Amino acid sequence: MRIAIYSGSFNPVHNGHMAIAKAALSEGFDEVWLIVSPHNPHKKEDDLWPFEMRLEMVNLAIGTFPGLKSSDCETKLPRPSYTINTLKHLRMTYPQHLFKLLIGGDNLQKFKLWKDYRQILDQFGLIVYPRSADNQASIETDPNILRIPGSPFGNQLLGNQKQAFEK
């Protein structure tokens, strides 16, 4: 199977995250795995909602949408959670699948700051969804980058999340 890995803090998950995941499915990926990171190395851990709450919000957002799955696999890996380690772990655990990393266009601007970014590009490749009127990153012309169509959006909470957390 061709699986898009969408890893993030999802602090909280919102309509934009779901648009990105669904766009990858519409581009021919069999599944999109939303991997909730316990600790993103580019964010302060104190600023994150509790992991269990973020995972539950992702599960609420996914619901029964076909092809979307959540994962807590990074809880079993060293922290902070580096994407390269997650991807290598997934490839070793599921050698029958082809994994590609799915990111929003805003992350492409900072991608060279990621641990072993070149290895991610060369061994896994990127799927990039436009999240804003982002400028073209210098790695944009890399042959391992697939840009999928989409439209910029805001970070709006999903309706079912609002209801769950207003109680």
24-35 average pLDDT score: 97
The fraction of the chain above a pLDDT of 90, given in percent, is 67
If one counts the domains in the chain, the total is 1
How do residues 67-124 score in pLDDT, each as one tens digit?
Answer: 999 999 999 998 888 999 999 999 999 999 999 999 998 888 889 999 999 999 999 9
Q: What is the pLDDT of residue 161?
A: 47
- CB burial of residue 144 (10 Å; 0-12, 13-18, 19+): middle
Q: Which residue has the higher pLDDT, 14 or 47?
A: 14
Question: Does pLDDT of 133 surpass 60?
Answer: no
Q: What's the CATH number where 153 sits? A: 3.40.50.620
Non-local (6+) Cβ contacts of 3 within 8 A are 29, 30, 31, 32, 33, 94, 97, 98, 99, 100
Maximum alpha-carbon separation in the chain: 48
Share of the chain above pLDDT 70, in %: 81
Q: Please tell me the predicted confidence (pLDDT) of residue 39.
A: 76
| Model pLDDT for residues 151-163, shown as the tens digit of each residue | 765 444 455 444 4
Domain interval for residue 143: 2-166
Question: How high is the pLDDT of residue 149?
Answer: 87
pLDDT of residue 132: 63
164 in helix, strand or coil?
helix
